[in-house]
Amino acid sequence: MGMIDPSSEPLRQLADRRGVLIGSCVGVEYLRHDPAYRAILEREFNVITPENAMKFELLHPACGRWEFNDADEIVSFAADHDMEVRGHTLVWHRRIPGWIVDGGYRRDELMAILRDHIHTVVGRYRGRVRTWDVVNEALPMPGDASRERSLWRQVIGTEFIELAFHWAHEADPGARLFYNDDHADGLSEKSDAVYGLARRLMDRGVPLHGIGLQMHTGLGWSPSPREIAANIRRFADLGLEVHITEMDVQIQTGHGSPSERWDAQANVYGEILRACLDVPAFKALVMWGVTDRHSWIPDFTGHGDSPLIFDESYRPKPAYNAVARALGTKR
């Protein structure tokens, strides 16, 4: 395993030919200070998602105060390199700034704040951010009560979901609006709930265009490719597009030597991507990070891991080749 073979075809070129997007989330600090990181993004990807820079707390830290520098930088980087941007995320139960959490706002006031936030952010990037994760992780999750305790849900009620889509659509009628969630990749109670929500929103004429499946997985607990494809098909039957929005594959939970785990990980990436590519409504694979050096997983799990397709030294792993092969395989 060495550096990228400069004569090999970049992932984005393979993806362009398939009519799909391939990309990663981006940390603005690496984009700014790490030329090797930037070089991988430019060569390999045709879509990027800000990992944190567009979250509510970061864009709108105080009432009336906006901080657009980081998000602007990511959006212009994308434009300079002919990449799309997936805006992430307008409404989430996390990363809500203190001025809102502690503000004691009434329902109508909180609705006005959210409407203003969405109009300002989506309006600013109109025509430049093609896709938005409008609402993220809004459905209940066993073991995570924070979702039901979401300020938006508590104060506005479940209507916050459809309101957010309407407001985003008002601000940029050309944007593709997604509902994004986790643990809903295969067929499960959770993905049934996401499907039910999508159907209700579509029935009610809410401007919903796609579903984001986060696809945070690991060796020994990744959903079956067949189920993922079946899940995507049922969203497609509603007229929706599907993106994988945050894929990573933890190896800590696997067996065998490090190199066996990397091979097993490559199979997971490759088989899932191949199954998804069989469904025409599948339009994007975004990974939650470029290199193992900067993954969120070790912070989250408390131990080392290697969940992405480039290693800590930015060398392509077997998973990179598996993704390239899947993209390069004819339908």
Min dist CB 9 to ligand G3I, Å, is 29
Q: Which residue is nearest to ligand G3I (CB)?
A: 296
Distance between CA atoms of residues 78 and 213, nearest Å: 22
* Residue 162 falls in the annotated catalytic set: no
Contact 60, 66 (CB under 8 A): yes
User: Nearest to residue 75, comparing CAs of 51, 52, 57, 48?
Assistant: 48
CA distance 274 to 276: 5
Both tokens assigned to 22: 């391939």
Cβ proximity to ligand G3I: between 182 and 185 the closer is 182
Least separation in angstroms between CB 305 and ligand G3I: 13
The smaller minimum CB distance to ligand G3I, of residues 1 and 101, is found at: 101
Pick the closer one to ligand G3I by CB: 44 or 246: 246
Q: Is 137 a catalytic residue?
A: yes
The catalytic residue among 137, 148, 159, 241 is 137
Residue nearer to ligand G3I on the CB measure, 44 or 51:
51
* Alpha-carbon gap, residue 303 to 107, rounded angstroms: 41
CB contact at 8 A, 84 and 133? no
Give 134: exposed, middle or buried? Use CB within 10 Å, 0-12, 13-18, 19+.
buried
Query: Least distance to ligand G3I from the beta carbon of 94, Å?
Result: 6
Select from 232, 193, 239 the least CA-distant residue to 213: 232
* Active-site position among 246, 260, 271, 312: 246
Q: Which residue has the tokens 């049922």?
A: 234
Which are the contacts of 255, defined by CB distance < 8 A and separation ≥ 6? Answer: 219, 220, 261
Considering the complex, what minimum distance in angstroms separates the CB of residue 52 from ligand G3I?
Answer: 5
**CA–CA dist 302, 307 (Å, integer):** 14
CB proximity list for 241: less than 8 A, separation 6 or greater:
176, 209, 210, 211, 235, 281, 282, 283
Q: How many CB atoms lie within 10 A of CB 63?
A: 10
Q: State the residue for tokens 């075809």.
A: 9
CB of 88 to ligand G3I, least distance (A): 6
What percentage of the chain's residues is helix, strand, coil (to nearest 5)? 45, 20, 35
**Minimal distance, residue 256 CB to ligand G3I, in Å:** 27
Which CB, 172 or 248, lies closer to ligand G3I? 248
CB of 231 to ligand G3I, least distance (A): 18
Q: Tell me whether residue 111 or residue 284 sits nearer to ligand G3I (CB atom).
A: 284
- What is the residue type of 279? V
Residues interacting with ligand G3I, by CB under 6 A?
A: 51-52, 55, 94-95, 136, 182, 214, 246, 296
24 versus 326: smaller Cβ distance to ligand G3I? 24
Tokens of 56: 């509510």
Residues annotated as catalytic are: 137, 246
